[in-house]
Structure 1
Amino acid sequence: MVLAPGPLHPRGGHVFDASLLRAYDVRGVYGATLFEADAYAMGRSFGSVVRRRSSFETPKVVVGRDGRLSSPQLEQALVEGLCESGVAVIRIGLAPSPMLYFAERSLEDVEGGIEVTGSHNPPDHNGFKIVLGGRPFFGADLAQLGDMAARADWMEGMGAAEGRDVAPDYIAALRGGLCQADPDALARLRVAWDVGNGAAGPIVESLCRQLPGTHHVLHPCVDGRFPNHHPDPTLPENLTDLQALVAAKSLDFGVAFDGDADRIGVVDGEGRIVWGDQLLALLARDILAHHGERGGGMRPSVVGDVKMSATTFAQIEAAGGVPVMAPSGHSHIKSTMKATGAILGGEMSGHLFFADRYFGFDDGIYAAVRMMALVAQVGRSVADLLDSLPRTFATPELRFAVPPARRTAVVAEVGERLAQEGLVPVTLDGLRLDGPDGWWLLRASNTQDMLTARAESTSEEGLARLVGQIDAQLALSGIVRPREA
């Protein structure tokens, strides 16, 4: 066990490392910037927030954890902090983040939830994803927890903790994603699942035993060291095992998840990667076709993040939906969906949010089930569906490290130069500039000390010019993008 200097139960307050409280969640390096004392203080602060807004004397909070080696210790300290603030804790144990979200929504009188997870980050990283009243808890909310901890502005009490098995109900909800699909077509499907030694292993194995069709599961054993490959399905090198299995078994398609399974990666039967914006376009077309118009003539909204292809937004509009662009980040997508009443949302990073016949949170496992339903409903392979999308030339998401102090400054400098040239980019999240060749994006990552960039054009030559524009702007700010990024 790694302990921070000082007591686990501080009397004079607790100061979090400056890097812990991120834009969307809480993340740090266990034993360096994140300790059990942080988890305890997080529990004290969040528990106090819940109690002050609750009409119950002892409100309930649900807690889950991923499979990282440090998660049991952090979860224990978190639960202690919650209980000592007078909150009753329901512990669901090892759980992917979507199962925590499901429990927070479905269990009676539960008012909030915390998942201990490092998501797709390296094995020695960990953190917390928080929901309150069915809504994401991020940004200023997290800053408030930091202020409360520093002042020890905590309520006192002694709540109890109890264990609860929510897996059967969660799996039943996942299976509900197939309710409108043709049973015979589903029975013919052959699917590969790469869990990547993440927290979803037991759930996926149990689910696959109950699903129609033939299923092959890779790396289902939970291992926080991630011995087979890193659990980030947005990186092509992490999908090679899945592609090999799909090819060896002649499967229809394959899916992969990150460490806590709130993100999905997909490969078609030919081994091609189906990127997050392509997934959103395919799912939106099908859902909108079956959804019809809402009362009062309103068209359903579909939310995509700022990194997505222009063709994705065009596909949504052509299918009868209202495309809505939002800042990147699962919390921003959820909030925008709530505000617009959207039926579907997605991110380039593989977060997919279904408010159509589901709860509206990001769930990679449910997204895989809905991909099965899509293929069965339309009677076309994933490869055929992918080929039906307009062809463009685009980079993947380009991510490259920069000094922490320069992360946001570089984007601001580029924005100033564009303004001097009379150019007006979209500034929803970083800079997205449209031009004759297409568009390019530059933004600061909210989860890592990195800049991210992307470009898309209707021609290879146009794409090269767009990437050249990005690199030229970076060079003016003293940044050289690695060629492999």
Structure 2
Amino acid sequence: MAEKANQYIFREYDIRGEVEKDLTPGVVENLGRAFGSRVARSGGKKVSIGRDVRLSSDALFSHLSKGICSTGCDVIDVGAVPTPVLYYSQFLLGVDSAIMITGSHNPPEFNGFKLLMNKEGVWGREIQLLAKEMEAADFAKGNGSISKADVTNPYIEMVQGKIKLSRKIKMVIDSGNGCGGLVAPRLFKEMGCDVVELFSEPNGLFPNHHPDPTVLKNMTALRAEVVAKKAEIGIGYDGDADRIGIVDELGNLLYGDQALMIFAKDMLGRRKGSKVIFDVKCTSNLPDYVKKFGGVPIMSATGHSIIKNRMHEERAELAGEMSAHIFFAEDYFGYDDAIFATARMLKILDDARVPVSQFLSDVPHMFSTPEIRVDCPDDKKFGIVTELVEYYRGKYEVMDMDGVRVDFGGGWGLIRASNTQPVLVLRFEAKKSDDLERYKREVHEKLRTFGPLSALAPF
């Protein structure tokens, strides 16, 4: 009988949990068996696997590949690489499926799996079906092999072939001791940039700061170094380099939606009429800005697999999330890639006559918060959000495609359940600072009426 897995590891768009507690050797091997069986029974044979630099990733690779090979599928080991490099392996190697072993921006004791079949993300109902297939234990049988392949060098050559710079740009790169340091500093030095490196050495304990570039405190060293070294731009990556943090020459951190607006203006200059997809956490300025430059804005639920599939459905050229995943389809492959996003941003800076701090000078000023994460048990968070939808629907205009986005009149607030962590994710925006604080207070008071959140501190 197959070892039963904790149901909460099967998230909306990936599989994630604590190593040893949730991701035991038996559970991971059975995941490999179930995934390999699905590949084999759909006529596939080869699965490329990459992994981040977390201390548990090598062991998880061993258990996962053992399970996959037992179904008759072959594993191609692309080694420790950023997630975008693993994504690229699908196009370079012609594999049927791919898996990235990564805990992304979760704490060091966590890890996870991003699954792809036929270049599409496996998410939602398909992940739940995979959980049932693991429990049923009706696995294919065979003897697959493991081989190695270099995807990093071809990836670097591919990016260099797409983006050419005409001048030396001084930049600071903070890889956060994650996978980005294995690729980005070398790539941008070879492209002619003057690169100042921070925390490029891989270290799965992330000793300098947590690798989440959307959190201001994690970017403290990068912001200071950009100003101290008089760099034109600073770039921060998360643990697997599929999310980007951008710092202007003054040391200010740009939010993910601000970065998306810059990329949208650039892309629409070449492809007017193109669609741009953004998630529910993004600023209300974004759709107006996209329309201003001749684009078609489309709001989506949050989640990298959801966004990728929505891009495919809408045939959109660009997409992004507040959490700083940026997806490119114009002269690219439609996946989120923080390293390629860096190259694109450098090209925009190369062509611009103004510094990064002036890129969005034509956007109306709004008072907003970054993402606010409120601890909430996995088995409570979705129920709380469901109650909030009904509560606010009786008072305001609401949008409930992903959590509840409340239109307060002079701004908005969002409360949604995270699909990757036991938290509620909040964000607020308003035209006036007083209104912003009022909206935050109102939501805070309501959240405290729920048992698990009764002691919630102000945010």
TM range (shorter): over 0.9
Who is 1:73 aligned against? 59
Match 1:384 to one of 354, 358, 365: 358
Offset at residue 484 of structure 1 (A)? 6.4
Secondary structure of 1:387's aligned partner: coil
What does the per-residue CA deviation read over 1:456-482, in whole Å, with 9 as the maximum and x for residues that have no partner?
111112212221231232134353574
Matched, 1:44 2:33: yes
Who is 1:191 aligned against? 171
Partner Cα distance (2:91, 2:279) in 1: 24
Offset at residue 388 of structure 1 (A)? 3.4
Distance 1:71 1:51, change over 3 A: same
Matched, 1:83 2:69: yes
Who is 1:60 aligned against? 46
Percent identical:
37
Matched, 1:18 2:7: yes
Structure 1 counterpart of 2:53, which letter?
G
Who is 1:462 aligned against? 435
Distance 1:438 1:176, change over 3 A: farther
What does the per-residue CA deviation read over 1:25-58, in whole Å, with 9 as the maximum and x for residues that have no partner?
111111211112222111111111111112x5xx
Partner Cα distance (2:374, 2:385) in 1: 13
Partner Cα distance (2:119, 2:49) in 1: 14
Who is 1:365 aligned against? 339
Partner Cα distance (1:414, 1:79) in 2: 43
Partner Cα distance (1:138, 1:481) in 2: 34
Secondary structure of 1:390's aligned partner: coil
Q: Which moved more, 1:395-404 or 1:325-334?
A: 395-404
Secondary structure of 2:67's aligned partner: helix
Structure 2 counterpart of 1:99, which letter?
V
Cα contact 1:208–1:215 (8 A) shared by 2: yes
Matched, 1:158 2:143: yes
Who is 2:190 aligned against? 210
Aligned positions of 1:19-418 closer than 5 A: 19-54=8-43, 59-108=45-94, 110-179=95-164, 183-184=165-166, 187-292=167-272, 299-418=273-392
Structure 2 counterpart of 1:61, which letter?
V
RMSD of Structure 2 on Structure 1 (CA): 1.5
Partner Cα distance (1:476, 1:146) in 2: 34
Distance 1:141 1:13, change over 3 A: same
Offset at residue 416 of structure 1 (A)? 1.6
Structure 2 counterpart of 1:316, which letter?
V
Partner Cα distance (1:169, 1:271) in 2: 33
Partner Cα distance (1:137, 1:17) in 2: 19
Matched, 1:436 2:425: no
**Unmatched segments (≥5 aa) in structure 2:** none
Cα contact 2:406–2:412 (8 A) shared by 1: yes
Cα contact 1:40–1:78 (8 A) shared by 2: yes
What does the per-residue CA deviation read over 1:381-417, in whole Å, with 9 as the maximum and x for residues that have no partner?
1111143322111111111102333211221112222
Offset at residue 483 of structure 1 (A)? 4.4
Structure 2 counterpart of 1:437, which letter?
G
**Unmatched segments (≥5 aa) in structure 1:** 1-11, 293-298
TM-score using structure 1 length: 0.92
Structure 2 counterpart of 1:237, which letter?
K
Aligned residues: 458
Offset at residue 177 of structure 1 (A)? 4.2
What does the per-residue CA deviation read over 1:79-102, in whole Å, with 9 as the maximum and x for residues that have no partner?
111111111111101111111101
Offset at residue 379 of structure 1 (A)? 2.5
Cα contact 2:185–2:195 (8 A) shared by 1: no
Partner Cα distance (1:345, 1:386) in 2: 18
What does the per-residue CA deviation read over 1:197-239, in whole Å, with 9 as the maximum and x for residues that have no partner?
1012221232133112211111111110111111111111100
Partner Cα distance (2:354, 2:31) in 1: 48
Structure 1 counterpart of 2:181, which letter?
G
Partner Cα distance (1:433, 1:125) in 2: 32
TM-score using structure 2 length: 0.97
